[in-house]
Each structure stands twice: as C-alpha cells, then as structure tokens.
Amino acid sequence: MALTTKQKNYIRKNHTSKDASKIAKELKVNADDVNSFISEIETSKEPAPDRKKLFFGIMLSIPVLFFVLLEVGLRIADYRGNLDLFIYPESLDGEYVIPNPEFAARYFFNVRTVPSMPRDAFLAEKPENGYRIFVMGGSTTNGYPYGNNVTFSRLVRDMVQDVAPDRHVEVVNVATSAINTFALYDQVNEILAMEPDAIMIYSGHNEYYGALGVGSSETFGAFPGFVRAYLSLQRYKTFLLMRDGIVRVSRWVAGIVGAFQPPDQGTLMSRMVREQSIPLDSELYEMGKRQFESNLNAIVRKFERRDVPVFIGSLASNLKDQWPFVSVEYGDHPEAQIVFDRAHELYNNGDFANALTHFMYAKDLDALRFRAPISFNEIIRNIADEHENVFYTPVEEELLSYSENGIIGFDIMLEHLHPNYHGYALMGKGFFEAFRDAGFPGLNADLSLLQEFEHYTLGMKLTDLDILIGDHRIRLLTNSWPFVDEPDLAGYPRNFRPESKADSLAFEVVNNSMRWDMAKVELAEHHEQQREYTQAFRHYYGLMRDQPFNDSPFIFAARLYLHLNDYPSARPHLESAYAIDDSNAFVTRMLGAIEVDAGNLDRGVLLLEKSRSIDPNNVQTLFNLSGAYGLKSEFQKADEVLRAAEQINPRFPGLAQWRAQLNQHLNRN
C-alpha cells in the first residue's frame, strides 16, 4: 500500500530520531515501505559522486579562472610592457636581438626612472661558427659614465675575434646600473636560452644597495632563497599588478606615519640607499655577504649544469683618493677616517705596502657600502676553487699593477669605483688574459694573431665627445650625496657654460636626454663644415663600432670620402652598407660607379640596375648605367638608358657629350 503525502511528511520529520519499525507502528503501515522511503530520503540528500566532484571542481576553478583571465587581460593590455631580457626590434627585421632597455623595471618598484643596458645586438639565429659570450654586472660593467664603446666587453670582443678569425664572435653586455647578484641570477635562464659559450661577471659593488639588496630602498627581504623565488613570480603580470598595488599602499601609509620613503629626486645612487650605515661585521654586513655568496653559487651552478665556463672578476675601487663616506666606531674596529688618514701618512713616507693594507682596511670600514669589501673577493676566489667551470679573474690585481705605486687612485678611477677609459681597457685586458689562461674554452685560438694592447685601446674609437660625456656625468654625480652633504644649486648643471661644440652636445646628452648617436652625427657634421675631416671620421668610426647593424654611419663616412675624391677609402664603407641593406639607391649607385671605374663591368652594371629599380628617375644613375653599357659595347642598351635620362633632364652635365659619342657607335653598327 503506497504511503500518503501526510505519512511521507511525518517520516521526513522523524526518521533521524526514530527507527523505521517504530514509525511504521505509529503510522500503522508496512515497515518495508517506511525503510524504502527513508532510503530515498538519504539518497536525495547527497549528490551523485560525479555531480559532487563537478561541484567542487567548479568551486575551485572560479578563483583559478579569475586569475587566468586577469593574467590574459593584463598581457593583452601589455601591463608594465615587455620585461623580457631580450627583444627583437622591428627596425632590425628580426635578424638581430638586443638586450631589452626596459628589463630593469622588474626590480625597481620604488624608483621611477630605471637604468638600461648597452645596445649590444647579436644574431637571432646563432651561426654554426658562432661563439657567444655574455657579460653580466652593474654600472662598471655597463661602462659608466661613458657607455657605448668604452665597455670592457667590447675590447674583449675585439681581442677574441682577432685570435679566432674563423669564428663569428659576439660579446653581449647585459649589465645594468644599480643591480646586484639577484638580478644576475634572474637573467641566467634567458641567457642560457641564447646558447652562451662563456660568461663573464663583474659584480659586487651594488650588493648592499642594488635592487633587492639588504640595504636598498628596493629591498624585499634578507633571505636570498626567498627573494630568488619572488623573482621567478615576476614573469606573471598578475604578480606585478599585486606588487605595484602593495607598493602604492605602502608609500601611502609611510607618508601618513612618517616612515622611510625612497626619494624621487637625485641621482640613482642616492635614491637606492635605505640603510646609510652598515658597519663592518654588523648583522646587515653579514647578511650582504651571505646574499652575495648564495646568489653567486646559485648562478654558477646553473651554468655548470650546462657546461658553460664562467669568469668572475675580482672587485676594484678607489683606495687612495676616495675618503670614507661614513666613518663610525663599531665593535673592536676603529673609525674609517682614522685608518684612512694613517694610510696617507704611510703613503707619503714611501711605505706603500703598509699603506695599501691600511687603505683597504679603511675602505672596508666605510659604513656606506658603495664599495665591495675585501671579503667579496675572497668569496669569488673560493667559488672559483669549488667549481670546475668557474675561473677567478684578477681584475683588481690588474688595476693595482698599473696604478701609481701599486695603489688605485684617480689615475685609474674617476670617483669611488668607476674606472676612466684607460681603466676600462685594462679590465678588458684582464678578462681576456683569464680567458686565455683557461685555454680559450671552445675555441681554437691563435695567439700569434693578437695585436699590441695599444691597438685595442685605439680601437675603442674614443672621441672628445665621449670623454666629455663621462666628465659631465661625473660632475652630476659628485655634486650630490654622498659626495657632498648638500648639492650646490648654483653650480653644475644650472650655471654650466660650454667651452666648445663638443662640450655643449655632451651636456645635452647627460642632462637633456639627447641620444648619443645623434650627438655624434651632429658633431661630425660640424667638423665637416669646419673642414676638420679627421675628427669627423673619428665620430663615424665610433658609430660603426657601436652599431655594426646600422648602415647609416658607413654611408656618412663614404659620402665624406667621396666628397674628398678618395674612392678607394669610400669603397669598403659602401660595401659594408650594402651588406647591411642592399636596397639603398645611393649605396648601389656609388658602389656600381666605383666598380665600373675599377673595370668590374658586370658587377657595376648589376649594381646600377639595382639602383635604377629603386630610384628610376635618378639621372646620375641612368647616366652611369648608360656609360657602363657603352663600355661593354652593348650600345642599344646604352641608348635606351640614355634616352630615359634625356627625358628627365636633357641638360644634365655630360649627357650631350655622351650622346654624341654614343651616336657615333650606333652609326657604325
């Protein structure tokens, strides 16, 4: 007998407190019917297993889906832009790769203006005979304050290329000011993807105050492993959005409560400092040492797993002519200034060995940690001893050996730690010699092809403009903290008066963001107008060295040689420009004319025809092409081309004379 609705409602209400037999007795129904209905009730309470899994799956996927969609949206909107280490500029047609000038935005979340890397272009597809070295580090490795052709990495490239002429040598500098070994570690995987054959590292001066360092305004904790994990998350735009939001809120809260906020003004050097006093052997000092050692070990292990040799340079700084920035008493250590003054007494008395020991100790006692302590070089040496793929590179030793009385001062350094251009050349020499002593890993090098060192220093293609740019940057730097307590607002740059055209352009590059290459071209053109052709060529050669992928400087130099009627000197520059871009009408026209004049008629005609296809109405091209066909005794073709020229400009110089000669040949035939 089926249960009534009233009976079912009673069972629903009481089945958890009474057993089925008692309910059946009270309702005077069959116990089996009650049991059957209770089973239906229990079954209906739980979803089917598949439905339950689906329900939980949907619940869990909602936040995941949200973040996936947010990440996709941020990527479509290009939030924070492209922060990859390498980019493929459209202007280079995908043939070349360059370090990304926006890369450092990964690390600078408090500082608004971020530094960039050198523009070292390398082939997108590594050739079979390619040999590729990547150079990593901070502002010194970046070539500050000169940049461009003064980086030691370019001198290394020249030397390695000379001893291995059968290889296509590329030395790619990915150094950035104000970064430390955290950023270097973050670069490793992307460098490995570019098939490196060797790595060169000069890093350590920024360890405390570089981005994410223990004393930096951009710090994110004192545990290297944790910070490295944090860096891996920066590949996600969602994480960057969250980070930026936290930073904005933190700055807002700091402004309310009066806590530390990174300054918006001043040099990058002054804006990066949070802890202005980190005494020798203090807790923060030891943290910085652990950070440096931990990160370097993590870096070299990654390269070791891919069997890539790593050359790490010992760290050098100004010992004799840079006073301690912050002198404090701490523990058993004396004040830095006392030791520094004693070092000068010893130096003035001719006791240079003891003076060197005291100068190094004074540098270590300087509590403002802009110069790496001696312990960092010990760490580098120990890591080189522990890893077969790591080679200690005696950079400091190289600079000491060339310094006056064996102590580094203003003869090598411009301020506290950046070398002058001679010092940068010596750094390149030091890295090359370490590379040589390691047996030129992966290369069959012929040392008999190596030039004298002076050849390579001249090969840096330095000009007065490059040196003045360095001078202006140093003046800007040293007119700010920590070199002075308060900047001289009435001094540089406000009341600067240029002494020359080069001085004026150097000021514009440093203070008003004028591009270095544009300044070089403008100054070269100025020298041309003054008939100072040697100086003009030096600027063009500097541009060629800096931008071997750009045909413009080769064309500028070729034009000037042509103006001087020096066709043999113009020819190789035209050939270089043609190899870079074979669609330039001027290059093909002039190179074709030179080939014809040299008796290479077939290639000359080919080039002139190419120029004609690019610019069909250029009468000079048509005139030269007609003459070339005439020299080949192809008079009908010469006539056809000459008629085209006559239609455009019948009064073009030389056309009438050539018409008369050509008609004679046509009449004879």
Task: State the sign of the Cα–Cα–Cα–Cα dihedral 413, 488, 366, 373.
Answer: negative
In this structure, are residues 355 and 346 in contact, taking their beta carbons and an 8 Å threshold? yes
CATH number for the domain harbouring residue 657: 1.25.40.10
Q: Is 117 helix (H, G, I), strand (E, B) or coil?
A: coil
In-domain check, residue 649: yes
Helices 464-478 & 421-437, crossing angle to 10 degrees?
A: 100
In-domain check, residue 101: no
Final residue of a domain: which of 445, 460, 475? 460
Tell me: do 213 and 341 sit in the same domain: no
In-domain check, residue 253: yes
Amino acid present at 435: F
In this structure, are residues 131 and 150 in contact, taking their beta carbons and an 8 Å threshold? no
Angle at the Cα of 406 from the Cα atoms of 405 and 410, rounded to 5 degrees:
80
Helices 601-614 & 619-631, crossing angle to 10 degrees?
A: 150
Tell me: do 350 and 396 sit in the same domain: no
Long-range contacts of 350-353 (CB under 8 A, 24+ apart): 352/405, 352/406, 352/407
Q: Quote the CA–CA distance of 134 and 308 in Å, as a whole number.
A: 11
Taking Cα atoms as reference points, which of 214, 180, 368 lies closest to residue 279? Answer: 368
Close Cβ partners of 271 (under 8 Å, ≥ 6 residues apart): 111, 217, 262, 263, 264, 265
The label of the residue with tokens 């994990």 reads: 229
In-domain check, residue 84: no
Tell me: do 610 and 531 sit in the same domain: yes
**What strand order describes the sheet that includes 168-173?**
168-173, 130-137, 198-202, 310-313, 390-393
Amino acid present at 632: K
Tell me: do 539 and 406 sit in the same domain: no
Residues of the chain with pLDDT under 50: 250, 253-254, 257, 259-261
Tell me: do 428 and 529 sit in the same domain: no
Q: Quote the CA–CA distance of 83 and 105 in Å, as a whole number.
A: 7
Q: Quote the CA–CA distance of 587 and 293 in Å, as a whole number.
A: 54
Q: Quote the CA–CA distance of 223 and 165 in Å, as a whole number.
A: 46
Give the strand pairing for 130-137 and 198-202: parallel
Tokens coding 266: 């001043």
Task: State the sign of the Cα–Cα–Cα–Cα dihedral 473, 474, 480, 482.
Answer: positive
In-domain check, residue 607: yes
In this structure, are residues 433 and 155 in contact, taking their beta carbons and an 8 Å threshold? no
Q: Quote the CA–CA distance of 363 and 355 in Å, as a whole number.
A: 12
Q: What is the pLDDT of residues 42-71, one digit of tens each?
A: 766 655 556 556 666 666 666 656 555 655
Q: Quote the CA–CA distance of 538 and 553 in Å, as a whole number.
A: 11
Instruction: Residue 397: give the domain boundaries.
Output: 126-316+370-460
Close Cβ partners of 535 (under 8 Å, ≥ 6 residues apart): 463, 464, 524, 527
In-domain check, residue 53: no
Tell me: do 419 and 475 sit in the same domain: no
CATH number for the domain harbouring residue 286: 3.40.50.1110
Tell me: do 420 and 299 sit in the same domain: yes
Report the residue count for the chain.
669
Taking Cα atoms as reference points, which of 490, 459, 343 lies closest to residue 409? Answer: 343
Tell me: do 536 and 646 sit in the same domain: yes
pTM of structure? 0.83
In this structure, are residues 322 and 209 in contact, taking their beta carbons and an 8 Å threshold? no
Tokens coding 201: 């590292």
Taking Cα atoms as reference points, which of 517, 498, 463, 548 lies closest to residue 161? Answer: 548
Final residue of a domain: which of 422, 437, 460? 460
Tell me: do 529 and 587 sit in the same domain: yes
Tell me: do 309 and 342 sit in the same domain: no
Helices 552-563 & 516-529, crossing angle to 10 degrees?
A: 0
Taking Cα atoms as reference points, which of 597, 512, 584 lies closest to residue 554? Answer: 584
pLDDT for 399 equals 98
In this structure, are residues 465 and 520 in contact, taking their beta carbons and an 8 Å threshold? yes
In-domain check, residue 116: no
Point out which residues pair with 130 in neighbouring strands.
168
In-domain check, residue 52: no
In this structure, are residues 453 and 172 in contact, taking their beta carbons and an 8 Å threshold? no
Q: What is the pLDDT of residues 492-504, one digit of tens each?
A: 888 899 999 999 9
Tell me: do 187 and 281 sit in the same domain: yes
Tell me: do 437 and 559 sit in the same domain: no
Final residue of a domain: which of 460, 483, 516? 460
Total domains present in the chain: 4
In this structure, are residues 201 and 181 in contact, taking their beta carbons and an 8 Å threshold? no
Long-range contacts of 223-232 (CB under 8 A, 24+ apart): 224/182, 224/290, 224/291, 224/294, 224/295, 224/298, 225/294, 227/182, 228/182, 228/185, 228/186, 228/295, 228/298, 231/106, 231/182, 231/185, 231/186
